[in-house]
Amino acid sequence: MKFNNVLKRIDLDNNYSNGWRPQDKCGVFAIYNYQGPDNAALITYLGLLALQHRGQESAGMAFNCEQGINHIKGMGLVDHVFPRDTLFAIDSKTILGHVRYSTTGSSFVVNAQPLVARSADQSGISLAHNGNLTNTRRLHNKLLGDGHIFHTTSDTEIILSYLSRFKRRGLVSAVQNAMNIIEGAYSAVVLDEEQLVAFRDPNGFRPLMIGCLGEAFIFASETAALDTVGASFIREVEPGEIVTAGPKGLSSYKQVSDSESSLCVFEHVYFSRPDSILGGQSVYGFRKKVGSLLARRITAGLDMVIPSPDSGVSAAIGLAESLNLPMEWAIHRNSYLGRTFIEPTQNEREMAVRLKFNPVKDLITGRRVAIVDDSLVRGTTARVLAALLRKSGAAEVHLCIASPPYKHPCYYGIDIPLARDLAALDSDLNYLAAEIGADSITFAELSDLYSAVGKEQHKLCSACFTGLYPKLGKTRGKVS
Ligand code: SF4
């Protein structure tokens, strides 16, 4: 009997031990004309490492070389795909990089990005995309009818296909025309022989930043990636905007006639790094503020606040400060676990949990504790932590969630389980608390999130909490 038939893989970060968590689709990092002392590929590598939390399935870079656009990509983490020899063999000043988590299209290397399309004259373009198109099926069928042969199962190939078709009139024109056809969420960067072109959907669901490093320009999904490579933040690519980095510097083309900015609120709640800046505000500051607002909603008597490692830390700090309670790191998380191979029986799952989390019993015994997390989706982690705290002698366990109940599917690039798997689908909080094994459960309200982000309600997408999906913005019409 083969090993693989007996043992099934458990990803300790994304499976039983940690519970399911919402998964973003991808991070983008691109640098134009880097002339500094380091290798541009090294800069891109560091930028992608800084964005690794946005996608761990595959990584890739595309770049210009003598034969035209070339690319290196593979399955796994950035440091696995780009060992030192590979990295230093990339001799290019302009590089487009990507880390991927799949929401549309399976997890195969053929779907790893950047995707590359070559013309008969060997000229080419390469595309890296964060988001999810909402008219994929219709465009896929149309392209098939037009004779296109798909090489991937990713919606990114649809964008690439339209860019290739329209490219003879110039890359900016191609992007403008493609934006008139595609719908949904896309923060993307395309590379040709001369330039990088960044473009963002009219709603701006996913972030996209512009920075500079000396004379070089950078596009990146988060400011933390700019900080990591020592670059300065210039501004965000605006919803519906096209920005080129080329021989004449940066140029901007506004492409929107009807847009309603709808940045995904989950970028603040969970996806983005706490050290990133979104809309001029620190993500850490947002999470801490929501924790302090959540404190006003808690009625239970408490002795101590414990963060769910590591996702609940910022909110737990705000909550503990507001309630004037000690915050203790009473659950230790083993950060050195990658993927392991364990048969997924109940016993093995419990062992995986013990591998991942271990409580500091002395802190917990006899105490009334609040365990704080950023969100509740399936509730797997909450169940695990509540059980661990009770087993360690906690007198009471109160679950505090720094976002509203997650109840509706996302169509804009976030992988969310089927409705039947959502823990908070039933709004009876007493039942939910009992089912999770807690004495009570308190959620932040949507108004807390808007208050913490300091934006008007229409500036954020919060559809997975409300079921009210933003109207998709339109582009300006046909552009030649
Ligand atoms: S539905 Fe939810 S996860 Fe999806 S973009 Fe809107 S806020 Fe983000």
The tokens for 293 are 């607002």
Is the Cβ–Cβ distance between 24 and 55 less than 8 Å? yes
Per-residue model confidence (pLDDT) at position 9: 33
- Contact indicator for 242, 255 with CB cutoff of 8 Å: yes
Tell me, in angstroms, the distance from the centre of ligand 1 to residue 299's CA.
29
Residue 123's pLDDT is 77
Read off the pTM: 0.89
| Ligand 1 atom nearest residue 460's Cα | 7
Report how many helices (DSSP H) and strands (DSSP E) the chain contains, helices first. Answer: 17, 27
3-state secondary structure 233-277: EEEECCCCEEEEEECCEEEEEECEEECCCCEEHHHHHHHCCCCCE
Q: What is the pLDDT of residue 426?
A: 67
CB 262 within 8 A of CB 134: no
For position 165, what pLDDT does the model report?
92
Q: Which atom of ligand 1 is nearest to the CA of 264?
A: 8
Give the residue among 461, 13, 67 at the shortest CA–CA distance from 264. 461
Q: Ligand 1: distance of its center to the CA of 126 in Å?
A: 27
Alpha helices by DSSP H, listed for 51-196, are: 78-81, 84-88, 136-145, 156-166, 171-179
Q: How far is the CA of 277 from the centre of ligand 1 (A)?
A: 19
Testing ligand 1's pocket by substitution, the residue of 406, 461, 466 carrying the most ligand atoms inside 8 A of its CB is: 461
Pocket test for ligand 1, best of 462, 469, 471 (most atoms within 8 A of CB): 462
As given in the structure block, the two tokens for residue 134 are: 């909402």
Helix 446-453 / helix 283-295 crossing angle, nearest 10 deg: 140
Q: What domains can be seen in the chain, in order of their start residue?
A: 8-259 (3.60.20.10), 281-464 (3.40.50.2020)
Cα–Cα distance list, 179 to 117, 163, 195, 208, 243 (Å): 18, 9, 19, 16, 13
Q: Is the sign of the CA dihedral 68, 69, 75, 76 positive or negative?
A: positive
| Contact of 109 with 74, CB cutoff 8 Å | yes
What type of residue is 216? A
Q: Using alpha carbons, list the distances in angstroms from residue 201 to 48, 190, 255, 263, 314.
A: 22, 14, 9, 10, 30
**H/E element, 283:** helix 283-295
Atom of ligand 1 nearest to the CA of 205: 5
Cα–Cα distance measured from residue 156 to residue 159, given in angstroms and rounded to the nearest whole number: 5
Residue-level pLDDT at 420? 61
Single out the residue of 352, 312, 308 nearest to residue 16, CA to CA: 352
Buried/exposed code over 285-318 (b: 16+ C-beta within 10 A; e: otherwise): bbbbbbbbbbbeebeeebbbbbbbbebbbbbbbb
Measured between alpha carbons, how far is residue 105 from residues 100, 158, 447 in Å? 11, 12, 35
- Choose, from 26, 400, 410, 464, the residue flagged as catalytic: 26
26 catalytic residue (yes or no) = yes
The pocket around ligand 1, CB under 6 angstroms, is made up of 205, 264-266, 410, 412, 414, 461-464
Q: Which residues of the chain have pLDDT under 50?
A: 1-20, 339-343, 478-480
Task: Give distance in angstroms: CA of 462 to centre of ligand 1.
Answer: 6
The rounded Å distance from CA 467 to ligand 1 centre is 10
Residue 310: cis peptide before it, omega within 30 degrees of 0: yes
- State which amino acid sits at residue 154: S
Residue ID of nearest Cα to ligand 1 atom 2: 464
Atom 8 of ligand 1, residue of closest alpha carbon: 264
